[in-house]
Amino acid sequence: MEPALILKNLSLRIGKDLILSDINLTLQPGEITGLVGRSGSGKSMTALAIMALAPQGAEIFGEVLLNGENLLEKPEAEWCDLRGHRIGMVFQEPMTALNPLQTIGAQIAETIFIHSDATKKQALVQANEKLRRVGLPPEEISPDRYPHELSGGQRQRVVIAIAIAMNPKLLICDEPTTALDVTTQAEILALLRRLSRDENIAILLITHDLAVISQMADRIAVIKDGRIVNLAAPEAFFRNGVSEAAQELIATPLRRPPQKKNQQSRFIVEARDVICTYNRPEQSIFSSTPSFRAVDGVSLTIHEGENLGLVGASGCGKSTLARALLGLHPITSGEILIDDASFPVTDKAAMRAARRKIQIVFQDPYSSFNPRHKVGKIIAEPFHLCDQPPIETDQHDRIADVLEGVGLLARDADKYPHEFSGGQRQRIAIARALITDPAVIVLDEATSALDITARNRVLALLQSLSGDRRVSFLFITHDLSVIRDITDRTLVMKSGQIVEEGVTENIFAKPQHAYTQALIAAAPTLKWAPPSNLDASDTSRDHVD
């Protein structure tokens, strides 16, 4: 059988830096090739080079062969026909990959309309079927929604729907499950496996998660410093011992320092019976506007110096609750208190004082930064919340201090966000959140895109900040290993409600609610099994030791 794609000595240079060096891979139809490596190892750059989307100024050498033709020699006009038609790609950051001004249905239909003879009406009908195929049935998630109206996991499904809209022969998936909860992740992985098997699609699965690769890949390639350092079938890769480079990707529990029990510590944040609703699109001019309860009667407390975890499936209301706590989403009913004061309030001075006490680190730090601003200006943004912002000299000192506090250098203030890795950008986001000395920081999937080493460094940093500065953290994540490693208490959220809460150790040792049990059971674990065994009907069984 003819290979779907062949990479021969693929190299990429930016300026004097050699980013990729002699990448050799053969992607076969109906197979999944896993490409794993740490942040900054060259995984995503390999995908961009294949798609001719490398950064401006990059020099690419070698060959990318499709049906015997070197794609690197093709003009951009021919590439516009290839991308989305014969080669599909699922990007790592769905919010930046989607057009915020178009509905999700229109964006999927656009791909179908451009690359086929379908009319716009027919393309929209086909788009609805693609949404259903990735688990977003139109009767539940309207195609007329915009990307910002969806959760991170739902946006990732839309990106996958766009990538498979034309049934391409090659699908490049760059961290396709980083924004997904464990149950949704299992479903998406099963979907990718079916696409590969049933439609004979070659898939290049790029990830830092060895547990995912162990369940999915027919062959595994390890990339380090822009070079392929290991290439083997899963059986040989895992049973004969992984390479030194791959050892860096194996999750190891983070050692938590002994927690000081203080039952008398005051509440920093308190939510009482909070309800948040969204209005659904009107079905007709004669019907009333239907509403949807994204947060349904949630009550929670965060103590001073406490790490609280909030876990649940995509779309369960976690991010909506976070925005409500930050005063960024109106609450329909209920009450939120920040340091015993109602929040939000109409008085501007009181509102600024409250906002200084609660900050957020977003899931995708790069999209939360202004790319035209240097890091120093980005970190200084929250100073507008101060009644008397510090003078320029004091600002420089405080920015330098907070940068060094998160493990960066003071001179990094003069760089731009694109000059940093994903883990470093996450540290910059944490520095910006710390600049006003808040009492509590909300972290919304703050480590989902990081490899194990970078994740542990960020979590260790947050642990030290919690101890040194008495900062409280609300960790909103689908990564159960993060919850287990760093939180004191855990809340489990489903369909807008808290279905279980308690001490983290107890939640994991003896989960009471069936939904909590399902989440823990679906978490991927590192083991090797023939990937052909993976199917939608038994994904949870395949992901458990």
**What band does 544 get if pLDDT is binned at 50, 70 and 90?**
very low
* Residue 162 and residue 186 in one domain: no
Q: CATH code at 36?
A: 3.40.50.300
pLDDT in tens, 168-206: 889 999 888 776 777 777 887 888 888 888 888 999 999
* Residue 278 and residue 131 in one domain: no
Structure tokens at 449: 């895109």
Q: Which of 305 and 457 is assigned the larger pLDDT? A: 305
* Residue 163 and residue 174 in one domain: no
Domain end marker among 167, 196, 224: 167
Structure tokens at 212: 């995912």
* Residue 337 and residue 408 in one domain: yes
**What band does 264 get if pLDDT is binned at 50, 70 and 90?**
low
* Domain contains 259: no
Quote the mean pLDDT of the chain: 84
Q: Between β-strands 333-338 and 497-503, what pairing exists: parallel, antiparallel or unpaired?
A: unpaired
* Residue 363 and residue 316 in one domain: yes
* Residue 184 and residue 281 in one domain: no
* Residue 309 and residue 238 in one domain: no
Q: Residue 493: what pLDDT?
A: 93
* Residue 160 and residue 206 in one domain: no
Give the contacts of 7 (CB within 8 A, at least 6 positions apart): 23, 24, 25, 26, 50, 62, 63, 64, 65
* H, E, C per residue of 84-115: CCCEEEECCCHHHHCCCCCCHHHHHHHHHHHH
The predicted model gives 25-32 an average pLDDT of 92
Host domain of residue 198: 1-86+168-250+526-545
* Domain contains 197: yes
Give the contacts of 328 (CB within 8 A, at least 6 positions apart): none
* Residue 470 and residue 488 in one domain: yes
Q: Residue 542: what pLDDT?
A: 33
* Residue 473 and residue 531 in one domain: no
Domain end marker among 147, 167, 187: 167
* Residue 274 and residue 364 in one domain: yes
DSSP H helices, 333-479, are 348-357, 375-379, 392-405, 422-434, 452-469
Percent of the chain, pLDDT > 90? Answer: 34
**Number of domains observed in the structure of the chain:** 3
- Sign of the four-CA dihedral 103, 108, 109, 111: positive
